[in-house]
Chain A
Amino acid sequence: MNDRSSSSTVLKLTRRLGPLALAAGVLVASACSSSAGSFGAAPSPDPRIGLGAGLFDAEEAIWNLAWVSQSPPPESFVGSTNSDLAFIGDYAIQGNYNGVMFWDISDPARPTIAVEFVCPASQSDVSVYGNLLFVSGEGTSGRLDCGSEGVAEAVSHDRLRGIRIFDITDVQNPEYVANVQTCRGSHTHTVLKHPSDDDNIYIYVSGSSSVRPAEELEGCIAAGDDPSSALFRIEVIRVPLDSPEDAAIVSSPRIFQGLVEPQSHGQAPGDLRAVEEARARGDFVSGVGEDARVMSGRFTQPQLLRIMRERGGTGSPTAADSLQLHAELPTLVEQLTGTDDDVDPDAPRPGPTQCHDITVFPGIGLAGGACGGYGLLLDIRDPENPVRIDAVADANFSYWHSATFNNDGSKVLFTDEWGGGGGPKCRIDDPREWGADAIFTVEDGSMVFHEYYKLSAPQTSLENCVAHNGSLIPIPGRDIMIQGWYQGGISLFEWTDPDNPHEIAFHDRGPVNAETQGAGGSWSVYWYNGVIVNSEISRGLDIFELTPSAHISQNEIDAAKSVHLDYLNPQGQPLFVWPSSFALAGAYVDQLERSGALSENRIATVRGALGDADGGSRSGLNDLANEVAGWAGSSNDSAKVRMLAAAVRDLAG
């Protein structure tokens, strides 16, 4: 390993020591911990267990991350829930149930509040595009006029449930330009910028709450069996960039149509065991693999009697009759269950009634929809008419909450916000498969389940904890993401191997309140232009940076920092493209060393040559690139070796 300046030492800190001591602790960790022994292993015992409580002075545990800053909310927003984040330029835009705030993070060590804009609505999910800011309103107390007094009447024309649009050309003075009201309000929303449409952007609205009465918003119909029902659909808003005041709903795609049965990717371990035991006993099992089901005796007994009678037998069915039934079973089951083709298009729609969140990835033309009991894969090349191309369901998933693709779109990760985020679902006896992430590969448009990932550190019953929002970190050649787990803290993990997701960094605080479950924790945490920004529900805005360790080298961190975004809406996933740099080539070298896919000699050769060329002459780099490319065939990671060769060739210019 080329980089040993790790800070994988665990700090257990308290703010009571004051900022100076904290700074020294972090400093010491990076400067002096070279004798700390093994860097790869996760700390044991897990220092997140038993952290003391406190709002601004809870005990903390941190591993492979370093504090950059932590900023309590400005006064207008103290005591009100911080929600999601969006980013543009030097600003982190943080939603809050009481409005929106703009943090200037140009100096991430000293974020300053640029704008406190009070305009209450839950959840105040935020997005940004150009000079426009979009804010979700779902709760019943949001007002069109941004007033704080709420709305007392159940039916009121003062109520805002939907999308607010602001012009932020002058950041200091956001101008409220339009509202788009929707039947179920906007729990979350997703901004879609189509690569070939520069005149409009699209907003996919996910609203999971109750349908508003028609007296409040015309055309809202709650009845599920009405063809115009506000259920079973999402809303698509088109925003003309020249005239955002003309933003309006342009379609309500029924992306759940015909979604009759879950394509269950995974039976519970108990179910699979029951199937195996039944097979061992010689019981009747229909289907194969994940679809296998033990057939009830109430179904099989009459069938056995029928077979016996058909051969003229009496008394008890014989082993031959059983064999016959085994042979007939697939046909009988098909008659029983029918196929998707049998679905009556006029039958009441049985699918989920809404999505919680949709992540669009325009760079690959796909979206991941987390919709009630399903995870959907959508084709979004026609933004007004997204088309469902696959759906998955899972007995272990309670509520499909959000999706994140890896950078080449070959994998997608869905989260299960079991309990809605208010429950303490990371206790030691909560199942590891519940309230977790589920990792799928995308193969010819189908999603194939691999493994779950859940925060490994058990939390107390005072801490609401479940899988929540996060984003990829642009470390080239690997799938690494940072994710918020409410009061479980933040967890950075790798899912390059979809069967073996594992944690490589974390930060956690003790409970907000030592006596009762208080509101707090990470709503969302995202990588933005070199730093990790965490929206803490009660404690404000945290900024961290990665520190090098056995898991992530300095080159990989530098390569990640070389990716610059002008803006980021995490639900509109950007395609990362790495500019040519020595760090990029070095990152691939470090990865090939870590995996053992190149010999020590070859690692030394390429590292030496890159070192000579960095700041010196690059004339030899084309030859080096050719030499590296020649190693691909004999390496067990030839794809990565070719990526290295390409990175070296780019450096040669």
Chain B
Amino acid sequence: MNGPPQRWCMAPGVGARPSPSRETGRSSIMLPALDEPRQHANRMEKRSRMKKQQTRWILPCTFALALTACASGQGSTGTAPGPEGRELERLEALFQARVDSVTSNVSEADVEFMTGMISHHAQALVMSGLAPTHGASPQMRILTSRIINAQTDEIAFMQAWLRDRQRHVPEVEVDGLTLTIDGGPAPRMHGMLSDAQMQELAAARGVEWDRVFLTYMIQHHEGAVAMVSDLLSTDGAANDDVAFKVASDIQVDQRTEIRRMKLMLEDIAGRLEGPSSQDRHPSP
């Protein structure tokens, strides 16, 4: 970044904002326990140095000027919000210690769930990625775009969850139809498509692609719903609030999407089969 525009005042000691760097990532720093104030203090100094560098403009010059010009006699209308910096630093250290304590107390079932769900989600990306080249309808393009957006974010979130807990983070690579996890084939989780099913999807075009996609994505989503149910019926699992929320959100979202896809599938099936088909009742 170049120097700030003239009309902004620089705060003392404030430099240009560095781009976020991996070296400063907090996962490399472990905070052991609450009762080690010295370490906390050191860390807080370090954090606050980091932040100072990130702070850019403080107040516009006009404000600083106005402050001298107008502040006298008006003191009662302003309100000082919140406590002093030192108290905030103490609370921030406590915050960090609590977060670290949560992330050091991990259930293996949760780790397995996150790891497996990353592979599961990754296959949904492969499937959805075919839409633009396989003649998907506009409605299907919306659905697949949303699946890609949602599941990409969820994969990143689950990877961060594992990283924060010092666990192995599966690396996902999608190359056309080929999905690799950590350089090898993806483990087959609940509801994931077989190679033959994936080939069938890749071979279909147009409305037939829509039909095959919906059929298999319903199967795929139902697998995710089952994975969550399995997790929640495992002793000791999902006591971590974040894990519970991730699992619940996946289940709720995918259940909702299953409903939507069944209606879409029915719509397509009706058209493909023609008017002789009177059975419009969706399956449960």
Contact between chains at A30 and B77 (CB < 8 Å): yes
Give the docked Cα–Cα distance between A181 and B64 (Å): 58
B277 touches A13 (CB 8 A): no
Binds A, one of B35-43, B81-89, B172-180, B190-198: B81-89
13 A-B pairs in the complex with CB atoms less than 8 angstroms apart: A16-B51, A23-B80, A29-B63, A72-B91, A141-B238, A150-B239, A154-B237, A213-B233, A299-B272, A336-B275, A350-B281, A396-B142, A423-B153
**B6 in the interface (beta carbon within 8 A):** no
Judge whether A352 is part of the interface by a CB distance below 8 angstroms: yes
Chain B residues whose CB sits within 8 angstroms of the CB of A33 once the complex forms: 66
CB distance from A71 to the nearest CB of B (A): 6
Report chain B residues within 8 Å CB of A354.
252
Query: Once the chains bind, are A373 and B253 in contact (CB under 8 Å)?
Result: no
B61-111 interface (Cβ within 8 A of A): 63, 66-67, 69-71, 74-75, 77-85, 87-89, 91-92, 94-99, 102
> A26-B78, A55-B95, A434-B146 are contacts. A299–B282 as well, Cβ < 8 Å?
no
In the assembled complex, A109 has its CB within 8 A of some CB on chain B: yes
CA distance A336 to B91 in the complex (A): 64
Complex: chain B residue closest to A286, CB-CB: B271
Among listed A268-276, A555-563, A570-578, A609-617, interface-contacting one: A268-276
Which residues of A sit under 8 angstroms from B63, Cβ to Cβ?
11, 25, 28-29
Pick the contact of B82 from A70, A342, A423 — CB < 8 Å? A70
Q: Chain B interface (Cβ within 8 Å of chain A)? A: 11, 17, 20, 24-27, 48, 50-52, 54-60, 63, 66-67, 69-71, 74-75, 77-85, 87-89, 91-92, 94-99, 102, 137-139, 141-142, 146, 149-150, 153-154, 157, 160, 163-164, 207, 228-229, 232-239, 241-242, 244-246, 248-249, 251-253, 255-257, 259-260, 262-263, 267, 270-272, 274-275, 277-278, 280-284
Among A14, A15, A53, A398: residue with most chain B CB under 10 A: A14
A52-B51, A422-B246 are known contacts; what are 11 more A-B pairs with Cβ within 8 Å?
Answer: A12-B59, A18-B84, A55-B92, A56-B89, A57-B88, A78-B91, A78-B95, A109-B81, A213-B233, A348-B282, A425-B153
Roughly how many angstroms separate A30 CA and B78 CA in the complex, as a whole number? 9
The interface-forming segment of A172-180, A509-517, A629-637 is A509-517
Q: Bound complex: CA of A348 vs CA of B282, how far in Å?
A: 8
Closest to B153 in A: A423
- Interface size of A by CB at 8 A reads 118
B259 x A372 contact (CB < 8 A)? yes
Asked if residues B235 and A79 are in contact (CB atoms below 8 Å), the reply is: no
Chain A hits for B255, CB < 8 A: 353, 372
- Is B271 a contact of A225 with CB atoms below 8 Å? no
Contacts of A17 in B (CB 8 A): 11, 58-59
Do A154 and B233 form a contact, CB below 8 Å, given A18-B85, A538-B95? yes
Asked if residues B59 and A25 are in contact (CB atoms below 8 Å), the reply is yes
Contacts of A27 in B (CB 8 A): 70-71, 74-75, 77-78
A122 interface residue per 8 A CB criterion: yes
- Chain A residues with CB under 8 Å of chain B are 11-33, 50, 52-57, 59, 67-73, 75, 78-81, 97, 109, 122, 138-141, 150-154, 208-210, 213, 222, 224-225, 260-262, 267-268, 270-271, 273-274, 293, 295-296, 298-299, 302, 332, 335-338, 342-344, 347-354, 356, 372-373, 393, 395-396, 398-399, 418-425, 430, 434, 513-517, 519, 538
User: Which of A122, A224, A399, A515 contacts B241 (CB under 8 A)?
Assistant: A122
A476–B152 CA distance with the chains assembled, in angstroms: 44
Q: Determine if A24 and B150 form an interchain contact, defined as CB atoms under 8 angstroms apart.
A: no
Nearest neighbor of A150 in chain B, beta-carbon distance: B239
Checking B69, B85, B259, B280 against A373 with a beta-carbon cut-off of 8 angstroms, the contacting residue is B259
Known: A23-B79, A52-B55. A270 touches B142 (CB 8 A): yes
CB distance from B71 to the nearest CB of A (A): 5
B204 to chain A, nearest CB (A): 13
* A70-B81, A399-B252, A424-B153 known; A14-B58 Cβ under 8 A: yes
Contacts of A69 in B (CB 8 A): 79, 81-82
User: Contacts A55-B95, A78-B94, A343-B281 given: A298-B81 contact, CB under 8 Å?
Assistant: no
Contact partner of B284 (CB less than 8 A), chosen from A57, A342, A349, A430, is A349
In the complex, chain A residues whose CB is within 8 Å of the CB of B26: 513, 515-516
Is B275 a contact of A332 with CB atoms below 8 Å?
A: yes
How far apart sit A293 and B244, CA to CA, in the bound complex (Å)?
40
Given contacts A15-B85, A350-B284, contact A271 B139 (CB under 8 A): yes
| A208 neighbours in B (Cβ, 8 Å) | 248, 252
Docked complex Cα distance between A425 and B150 (Å): 9
Contact pick for A423, options B91, B141, B154, CB 8 Å = B154
Rounded to whole Å, the gap between the CB of A280 and the closest CB of chain B is 16
Q: Contacts A14-B55, A395-B139, A398-B146: A296 and B271 contacting too (C-beta < 8 A)?
A: yes
Report A94 CB to chain B, min CB distance, Å: 16
The 8 Å CB contact of A32, one of B52, B69, B94, B163, is B69
State whether B88 touches A20 (Cβ < 8 A): no
CB distance from B255 to the nearest CB of A (A): 6
A225 to B48, CA, bound (A): 57
List of B residues within 8 angstroms of A28 by Cβ: 63, 66-67, 70-71
A485 to chain B, nearest CB (A): 16
Q: Is the CB of A79 within 8 A of B99?
A: yes
Please, how many angstroms separate the alpha-carbon atoms of A54 and B47 in the complex?
A: 9
Cβ of B275: which chain A residues have Cβ within 8 Å of it?
Answer: 332, 335-336
Q: How many whole Å from A394's CB to the nearest CB in chain B?
A: 10
Asked if A398 contacts B251 (CB within 8 A), the reply is: no
Contacts of A268 in B (CB 8 A): 138-139, 142
Q: Which of A24, A152, A299, A342 touches B235 (beta carbons < 8 Å)? A: A152
Contacts of B283 in A (CB 8 A): 348
Q: How far is the CA of A20 from the CA of B78 in the complex (A)?
A: 9
Q: Given that A420-B252, A513-B26 are known contacts, is A19 also in contact with B80, CB under 8 Å in the complex? A: yes
Partner of A422, one of B82, B83, B249: B249
- Measured between alpha carbons, how far is A68 from B82 in the docked complex, in Å? 9
Instruction: Let me know if B284 and A348 touch, CB within 8 A.
Output: yes
With A and B bound together, what is the CA distance between A562 and B160 in angstroms?
48
Asked if residues A515 and B259 are in contact (CB atoms below 8 Å), the reply is no
| Complex CA–CA separation, A18 to B284 (angstroms) | 59
Question: Closest A-chain residue to B52, C-beta based?
Answer: A16
CB distance from A156 to the nearest CB of B (A): 9
Contact indicator B79/A210 (Cβ below 8 Å): no
The 6 closest A-B pairs by CB, nearest first: A79-B98, A420-B249, A348-B284, A23-B78, A27-B78, A19-B80
CA distance A299 to B268 in the complex (A): 10
Q: Are A260 and B282 in contact, CB atoms less than 8 angstroms apart?
A: yes
CB pair A210–B229 under 8 Å, yes or no, is yes
Residue in B50, B77, B92, B154 whose beta carbon sits within 8 Å of that of A31 in the complex:
B77
Question: Contact partner of A273 among B138, B228, B235, B284, CB < 8 A?
Answer: B138
Contact of B207 among A122, A260, A296 (CB under 8 A): A296
What residues on B are CB-neighbors of A26 within 8 Å? 78-79
Q: A72-B83, A420-B253 are in contact. Are A261 and B263 (CB under 8 A)?
A: yes
| Most chain A CB within a 10 A radius of its CB, from B11, B83, B96, B146 | B146
Of all chain A residues, the one with the shortest Cβ separation from B92 is A55
Chain B residues near A70 (CB-CB < 8 A)? 81-82
Are A347 and B281 interface neighbours, CB within 8 A?
A: yes
Q: Which of A53, A222, A299, A352 contacts B256 (CB 8 A)?
A: A352
Which of the residues B89, B228, B260 comes within 8 Å of A210, measured between beta carbons?
B228
Contact of B259 among A141, A273, A293, A351 (CB under 8 A): A351
B69's closest neighbor in chain A, by CB? A32
Q: How far is the CB of B133 from chain A (nearest CB, A)?
A: 16
In the complex, the answer to whether B263 meets A209 with C-beta atoms within 8 Å is no
Are the CB atoms of A423 and B157 closer together than 8 Å? yes
Q: Is the CB of B281 within 8 A of A154?
A: no
If A338-B280, A423-B154, A514-B54 touch, does A71 touch B98 (CB 8 Å cutoff)? no
What is the minimal beta-carbon distance from A5 to any residue of chain B, in angstroms? Answer: 12
**Which residues in A have their C-beta under 8 angstroms from that of B281?**
343-344, 347-348, 350
A419 in complex: contacting residue of B142, B236, B253, CB < 8 Å: B253
Would you call B241 and A15 a contact (CB within 8 A)?
no
